[in-house]
Amino acid sequence: MGLKEQTLKQKIIDYSQTIGIDKIGFTTAEPFEDLRLKLYQQQMLGYQSGFEAKDLEKRSNPKLIMKEAQSIIAIALSYPTKLDERPKNSKESRRGSFARVSWGLDYHQILKERLAKLEEFIKRHVPDAIVKSMVDTGELSDRAVAERAGLGWIGKNTNLVTKEYGSYVYLGEMLTSIPFEPDRPIGDQCGDCNLCVEHCPTEALVQGGQLNSHKCIAFLTQVKDDIPEPYKKAIGNRVYGCDTCQQVCPYNRGVNNHFHKEMEPDAEKVKPLLHSLLQLSNREFKETYGDMSGSWRGKKPIQRNAIIALGNYKDTTAVHLLLDIIQNDPRPVLKHTAVWSLDKIWARLDEKKVQETESKIHKILEKETEDKKLCRMLHSLLKKHRVSSL
């Protein structure tokens, strides 16, 4: 690399620090051969989530995305992990939980804004440079790029881990036609530690560095269909995402950075009251949660997760709300999930509440004619709890 490119690289590094980029690294645009093999293995095993870009060749070969690509610039921004004040979570006001990756303003917006500034800076110095930036939804693997650019290493929990900020970082990258000198990868630092694999609530980490997405709670909380029975209990009170494999990581101990005001969480939003969450209209949901990354799949998955959380809490105060969903909500998945939660709560009900609930279910069964699955579930519920169904 010539002196001109070397000087430009340092200028970019210096500039990145003035616009709120916590880490920056450079790598070549050569194919990611190891990643390519892993992607095909994931596909063969059926471990893909379905949210990824479909073209595995593009995901592992930058020049299929931008033929002029010579280098890739990777960036990382550290995000907060603790609330200044945790809102009260009591029997009278049960709360759900958004994973930390969804705290504050949608990180896609934040990183795209940083990358746009970086693009402008490069264009000022090299007007004919060709650039293309991506955050999360692009073809390339953000983690693979960041690892090869020396920002960190991909841990056994499949997250990129940095020495400075642990794995609590958002990642983005920029393809560029400028041939920058690449930085050196750090190499694996996990060693014999296996805590993330051992503590995964659903055993989704099949082995170190390999994830079965269909078991992962972070994935399950985002699907729009019903969550398989074996995983409902493991959802706990999570309404979006899961932090367990990061929380147990030794590199995340004591990490809690507040470098970016856009990432600061609203405690009432990231630890929402479950009853209130279930009663939001589409407009209210969009107004309240629309600027969070966790809202990208819409209201339905989050409300379904809230219903599961009420069942896991065995929240007897939620019975009237669950019965209302079973009777009036137009979304079958929420109706069916509400029956599951009602079943989990039933043993906590006093005799009067049992009689009221039984009566309500009978009335629902008298009127319900279209949702055969719902009817079967309600009959089974009554039978299970030794109540004579109609």
Counting the structural domains of the chain, the total is 1
How confident is the model at residue 44, as a pLDDT? 77
Is the pLDDT at 389 greater than 60? The verdict is no
Paired sense of beta strands 23-28 and 71-78, if any: antiparallel
Q: What percent of the chain has pLDDT over 90?
A: 83
Cα 72 to Cα 28: distance, rounded to the nearest angstrom: 6
Q: What percent of the chain has pLDDT over 70?
A: 95
How confident is the model at residue 256, as a pLDDT? 96
In a domain, 306, yes or no: no
pLDDT confidence band for 229 (50 / 70 / 90): very high
pLDDT confidence band for 48 (50 / 70 / 90): confident
Residues contacting residue 97 through CB under 8 Å, at least 6 positions apart:
236, 237, 238, 239, 270, 271
Tell me which of 207 and 286 has the higher pLDDT: 286
Which amino acids are annotated catalytic? 136
pLDDT confidence band for 388 (50 / 70 / 90): very low
Cα 373 to Cα 390: distance, rounded to the nearest angstrom: 16
Most confident of 30-34, 177-181, 209-213, 366-370: 177-181
Structure tokens at 346: 């039933």
Burial of 185 (0-12, 13-18, 19+ CB in 10 A): middle
298: left (phi over 0), alpha (psi -120 to 50) or beta: left
Residues contacting residue 144 through CB under 8 Å, at least 6 positions apart:
32, 35, 60, 154
Each residue of 127-151: pLDDT tens digit?
999 999 999 878 899 999 999 999 9
Residue 68's closest CA among 121, 126, 120?
126
In a domain, 128, yes or no: yes
- Cα 216–251–222 angle (5° rounding)? 20
In a domain, 334, yes or no: no
- Cα 270–274–275 angle (5° rounding)? 140
Name the residue range of residue 82's domain: 1-274
In a domain, 328, yes or no: no
In a domain, 175, yes or no: yes
The DSSP secondary structure of 299-340, one letter per residue, reads HHHHHHHHHHHHHHHT-GGGHHHHHHHHHH-S-HHHHHHHHH
In a domain, 69, yes or no: yes
In a domain, 135, yes or no: yes
Each residue of 331-357: pLDDT tens digit?
999 999 999 999 999 999 999 999 999
pTM of this structure: 0.93
Structure tokens at 227: 């969550």
Total Cβ atoms within 10 A of residue 280? 18
How confident is the model at residue 3, as a pLDDT? 52
* Mean pLDDT computed over every residue of the chain: 93
In a domain, 319, yes or no: no
Is the pLDDT at 51 greater than 70? The verdict is no
pLDDT confidence band for 206 (50 / 70 / 90): confident
Q: Among 11-15, 24-28, 332-336, 367-371, where is mean pLDDT lowest?
A: 367-371
Is the pLDDT at 386 greater than 80? The verdict is no
Strand partners, 25: 74
Each residue of 60-106: pLDDT tens digit?
899 999 999 999 999 999 999 999 888 988 888 999 999 999 999 99
